[in-house]
Copies of this chain bind each other. A is one copy, B any other.
Amino acid sequence: MLSQPALADAQLDSAMKNPANWAAQAGDYANQRYSDLKQINASNVGKLQAAWTISTGVLRGHEGSPLVVGDTMYIHSPFPNKVVAVNLKDQTYKWKYEPKQDAAVVPVMCCDTVNRGLAYGDGKIFLQQADTTLVALDANTGKVVWSVKNGDPKIGETNTNAPHVFKDKVITGISGGEFGVRGRVTAYDIKTGKVAWKGYSVGPDNEMLIDPDKTTTWADGKVVPVGKDSSIKTWQGDQWKIGGGTTWGWYSYDPKLNLMYYGSGNPSTWNPKQRPGDNKWSMSIWARDVDTGKVKWVYQMTPHDEWDFDGINEMILADVSVKGQKVPALVHFDRNGFGYTLNRETGALVVAEKYDPAVNWATHVDMKTGRPQVVSQYSTEQNGEDVNSKGICPAALGSKDQQPASYDRKSGLFMVPTNHVCMDYEPFRVEYTAGQPYVGATLSMFPAPNSHGGMGNFIAWDAGTGKIAWSKPEKFSVWSGALTTAGDIVFYGTLEGYLKAVSPKDGKELWKFKVPSGIIGNVFTYEYAGKQYVGVYSGIGGWAGIGMAAGLENSTDGLGAVGGYKDLAKYTDLGGTLFVFALPSN
């Protein structure tokens, strides 16, 4: 008999069910980023106007979104990770929490000092600080209830991900794939902060919480047990110990299956020659039991990564119609440029197609083996060390990076903010030193050639057929998370700083507004006192904006992003503000 499963967090559950709240980063457990609110709709969104604004007092990149529970909004900031509880009535501050963090963590954050937001549950607000401290704050007072250390910045471990509340656990990941950090997710008890379980991405079976006989993967056209030492035997010697596979994305949860889903990142180093083998389970989609952490299934998208196609992008849970049949699906837009549809119960691969036509590093994904078919011209492994492999699409930051997509429950289409960027990639030999960058490649990035000249598209995706329904070109990568609403609108922000509302039917622009700084935050919505609001953080940064955020100027600095995005400085400047919009009162 199974042990008694934990109950769902009642407060979060009920808060999430009421669309007036925005109680979790994605609005729900399924990562759908869809709201039932429709006071703001396609025919009146043209009148949308800024309702109120708040400065965070921090300049660098602002990712994630605030949370709204009842009459309170919880606002976070990038490092130093301030938290402010704001009364929705009059925008005064209920409380502020300002952690003291050692600034020594800043240089070990690969891609700006971002923070992807807070979690709510059990009357608490959870903050995952950059220095890996996970803090539980009383939602009413801001007082610290408990606090734990989730890692060690001295060996390059940091945190940028939002914690996630699933049932009686607060679940968090780790960053540091560029420092040889060994990825894992850790579940903490929501009441006490005690470790409930910890599951690594690479290493011995027991440390990954993999059961060689019960944990399955997709191979040979079917779901099969992974077998013994499925990770270790794909690494040379002890390399898995500094093997990466970090876990800094947005997790989702299926209460019925009691499974949580997330992706693991790139293997360390970026020089593939130094780490022969498939490097499992970096670059993989994971399904874990929330109570025990045990792995139900795992699927590796990019075996033996040669391009930093870090697999952490979110898994969106939805029922997708495939060839006339409803599949309990997980939809994932990977950095590698393929949009994956899997059966989330079994881990069976259903669809894997390019969601940006520029993708050239692989011809297709072999549906039997689940492996992408690499084009040798773009294999940095085959071309070898100190050889510059040119014109690889997408660039290391992928056809999509952390910017989460949204699901349109009405049309069944996925609304995806994408990058349209290619790269030259030159791997080189690198020594591991704890706490030092362990990158091993020089990159430069540029807009996808022979296209519209821009670096991004906002697309609608049919996950059942693996086809782009429509695509709206953007000058820069769309680094902000999308929101679809029952008002027949999809919102997203641009790096120049426009918040846009477009039609989910055809991408037609319905409205836009220029916020002070480029947008890398995620759009959210809530209702207060009978009025619907839509909000977003403004504050350029993240990997795409690292040049501005960190004041870098050489093209290949910022892991290669500085050159590609240098034109951003002609459009926007740093600055962190929250913008909230509503329809005029009369």
- CB-contact partner of A514 in B49, B91, B517, B584, under 8 A: B91
Interface centre among A497, A548, A575, by most B CB within 10 Å? A575
Name which residue of chain B comes closest to A54, CB basis.
B516
A572 to B86, CA, bound (A): 11
Binding site for B on A (CB under 8 A): 47, 49-50, 52-57, 59, 84, 91-93, 96, 497, 513-517, 538, 548, 569-578, 584
A49-B49, A49-B584, A50-B49 as given contacts; A571 in contact with B92, CB under 8 Å: yes
- If A50-B49, A50-B50, A93-B571 touch, does A55 touch B584 (CB 8 Å cutoff)? no
A84–B569 Cα gap in the complex (Å)?
11
Instruction: Closest B residue to A576 by CB, please name it.
Output: B575
Identify which of B57, B93, B96, B575 contacts A55 (C-beta below 8 A).
B575
Please, could you name 9 A-B residue pairs with CB atoms under 8 Å apart, sorted by A? A50-B50, A50-B513, A53-B516, A54-B516, A54-B572, A54-B573, A55-B538, A57-B548, A516-B578
Would B50 and A572 count as touching, CB distance under 8 A?
no
The CA-CA distance from A112 to B519 in the complex, in Å, is: 29
Question: Separation in Å of the A551 CB from the closest CB of chain B?
Answer: 10
Using A49-B584, A50-B49 as known contacts, say yes or no to A574 and B55 having CB atoms under 8 A apart: yes
Do A55 and B92 touch (CB < 8 A)?
A: no
Q: A571 contacts which chain B residues (CB < 8 A)?
A: 92-93
CB <8 Å contact, A575 and B514? no
In the complex, chain B residues whose CB is within 8 Å of the CB of A92: 570-571
| In the bound complex, CA of A56 to CA of B59 (Å) | 10
Question: A450 to nearest B CB, angstroms?
Answer: 26
Task: With both chains docked as a complex, state the minimum distance between the C-beta of A478 and any C-beta of chain B, in angstroms.
Answer: 19
Q: How far is the CB of A317 from chain B (nearest CB, A)?
A: 35
Residues in B neighbouring A572, C-beta threshold 8 A: 54-55
- Whether A577 lies near B57 (C-beta < 8 A) is no
The 8 closest A-B pairs by CB, nearest first: A55-B575, A55-B516, A57-B573, A50-B50, A55-B517, A49-B49, A516-B577, A57-B574
By a CB distance below 8 angstroms, the chain B residues around A91 are 514
**In the complex where A49-B49, A49-B584 touch, is A573 in contact with B55 (Cβ < 8 A)?**
yes
Complexed CA–CA distance, A93 and B497 (Å): 13
Q: Give the complex CA separation of A538 and B55 in angstroms.
A: 9
Q: Among B47, B96, B569, B577, which residue has its beta carbon within 8 angstroms of that of A577?
A: B577
Q: Cβ of A548: which chain B residues have Cβ within 8 Å of it?
A: 57
Q: Is the CB of B584 within 8 A of A56?
A: no
Q: Report chain B residues within 8 Å CB of A53.
A: 514-516
Q: Chain B's nearest CB lies how many Å from the CB of A172? A: 26
Contacts of A54 in B (CB 8 A): 514, 516, 572-573
Distance from A74 Cβ to chain B, minimum over Cβ atoms (Å): 15
Most buried by B among A50, A538, A569: A50
Contact between A57 and B59, CB atoms less than 8 A apart? yes
Can you add 12 more A-B contacts, CB < 8 Å, to A52-B514, A55-B497, A57-B59?
A: A52-B513, A53-B514, A53-B515, A54-B572, A55-B574, A55-B575, A56-B575, A57-B548, A57-B575, A59-B59, A96-B569, A516-B578
Give the nearest-CB partner of A572 in chain B: B55
Task: Give the complex CA separation of A92 and B572 in angstroms.
Answer: 8
Residues of B within 8 A of A573 (CB): 54-57, 84
Residue among A55, A514, A571, A584 with max Cβ neighbours from chain B (10 Å): A55
Task: Chain B residues near A516: list those with CB within 8 A.
Answer: 53-55, 516, 577-578
Chain B nearest Cβ from A537, distance in angstroms:
11
User: Across the interface, which residues of B come within 8 angstroms of A52, CB to CB?
Assistant: 513-514
Chain B contacts for A93, CB-based, 8 A: 569-571
CB-defined contacts of A96 to chain B, threshold 8 Å: 569
CA distance A137 to B575 in the complex (A): 25
A577, B515: Cα distance in complex, Å:
9
Q: How distant is A294 from chain B, measured CB to nearest CB, in Å?
A: 44
CB distance from A526 to the nearest CB of B (A): 17
Determine whether the beta carbon of B514 is less than 8 Å from that of A47.
no
Residues of B within 8 A of A578 (CB): 516
Q: How far is the CA of A548 from the CA of B96 in the complex (A)?
A: 14
Q: Determine the distance from Cα of A533 to Cα of B517 in the docked complex, in whole angstroms.
A: 20
Q: In the assembly, what is the distance between CA of A576 and CA of B55, in Å?
A: 9
Q: How far is the CA of A55 from the CA of B576 in the complex (A)?
A: 9
Instruction: With CB as the reference atom, state the residue of chain B lying closest to A49.
Output: B49
Closest to A581 in B: B50
A584 & B47 in contact (Cβ 8 Å cutoff): yes
**How far, in whole Å, are A538 and B50 apart by their CA atoms in the complex?**
15
Q: Shortest CB–CB separation between residue A523 and chain B, in angstroms?
A: 17
What chain B residues lie within 8 Å of A570 (beta carbons)?
Answer: 92-93
